[in-house]
Chains A and B, each alone.
Chain A
């Protein structure tokens, strides 16, 4: 591999992911859930609209997870598959999905960390299956952006004023 490559998220997969997130929120009584890829890009979200920048939130989530991965390795663990950040009123639970994406659940005193953790476990299993299937479907070695941007050179030149 010479670079990081590219991948795509289709509308149908996005719909299925959002379905799983909504189910998780309903059954755990959590406030909202995000799915973020390991490079810090927000893939999907569900639940209450919160008053912060979701893009910044996603990049910090990925950095948080990456830093903790390194800490895990330093103490002889391969990874921390989940992280829990406890606040006075608001808390976060983060879980790894297939080493590619991170599930983030925000919750408050209306539920408990035990219930969230229990319900997240089930969603993680469902999402691992979904992502495995998605990545299997993607043709090996084929760049996901290729079909979309093939032959778009003129448009790209124009975008940058050439």
Chain B
């Protein structure tokens, strides 16, 4: 839930990085932490196990600039990816303004990706949030690995799109991040919308900021 603080002149928004275990959610935050100047970010908090697996969440606040004289402050959270931490995962989604789903591109992790995506829909629904109506982007991570599945297969399994019911929105909308592709399109007389997607290699930082900027922009546009 975004909060406008007129006293400190800040717009605070909450972004959550979701996805299967060992998919690269924490690595996304670590890269952002390493690249953003200390004046533009706060302390990174990691509640992890001794083996550095996320136990509860990672947290990193970053400032992305000023709009209408208000500092835009994004609170980035990751959730624990491991299946049995669902109770803590659900808590982190409370009040979320935007979601990044970090998928593991490796063919062997397809099942885990699908399970985590389903879990995201279920947990959001329990708060009464509709994933198709809030800022949501998908990041296909680990694109550098030889066993990475083709984007087409990942899109088909994880981001097949949802029907667009509102007639006002039933018109083609190009994907600004992939020339020639569309985010809203008609197929078999049904209008479909897909979440924007990004390819990444989080360990080297490729695609990390593109993803963050896209979701942050969607969040601010939702408020405007």
- Asked if chains A and B come from one complex, the reply is yes
A156 touches B14 (CB 8 A): no
Contact call B95/A39, Cβ cutoff below 8 A: yes
In the assembled complex, B4 has its CB within 8 A of some CB on chain A: yes
Find chain B residues with CB under 8 A from A126 CB.
Answer: none
The bracket for how many chain B residues form the interface is 35 or more
Q: Does A50 contact B (CB under 8 A)?
A: no
Q: How far is the CA of A15 from the CA of B8 in the complex (A)?
A: 11
* Min C-beta distance of B70 to chain A, whole Å: 7
Contact status A9-B42, CB under 8 Å: no
Interface residues of A in 1-47 (CB under 8 A from B): 1-11, 14-15, 37-41, 43-44
Instruction: Report B-chain residues with C-beta under 8 Å of the C-beta of A133.
Output: none
**How far, in Å, is B165 (CB) from chain A's closest CB?**
13
Q: How many A-B residue pairs have CB under 8 A?
A: 154
Question: Which of B81-122 touch A at CB < 8 Å?
Answer: 87-88, 91-92, 94-97
CA distance in complex: A11, B221 (Å)? 24
- Range for the number of chain A residues in contact with chain B: 35 or more
Q: Which of B22-30, B54-62, B140-148, B186-194 participates in binding chain A? A: B54-62
Complex A-B, nearest 7 residue pairs according to Cβ-Cβ distance, in ascending order: A39-B95, A14-B7, A2-B133, A145-B223, A4-B1, A8-B4, A149-B224
Q: Give me the interface of B with A, judged by CB distance under 8 Å.
A: 1-7, 11-12, 14, 42-43, 45, 47, 56-57, 59, 61, 64-68, 70, 72, 75, 77, 87-88, 91-92, 94-97, 127-130, 133-134, 176, 213, 216-217, 220-224
A-B contacts, 7 of them at CB < 8 A, read: A3-B133, A6-B4, A10-B7, A60-B45, A63-B91, A67-B56, A160-B216
| Other A-B pairs, 6, CB within 8 Å; known A4-B97, A41-B14 | A2-B133, A4-B96, A59-B59, A60-B45, A143-B223, A145-B11
| Residues of A in contact with B (beta carbons under 8 Å apart) | 1-11, 14-15, 37-41, 43-44, 53, 55-56, 59-60, 63, 66-67, 70, 143-146, 148-153, 155-157, 159-162
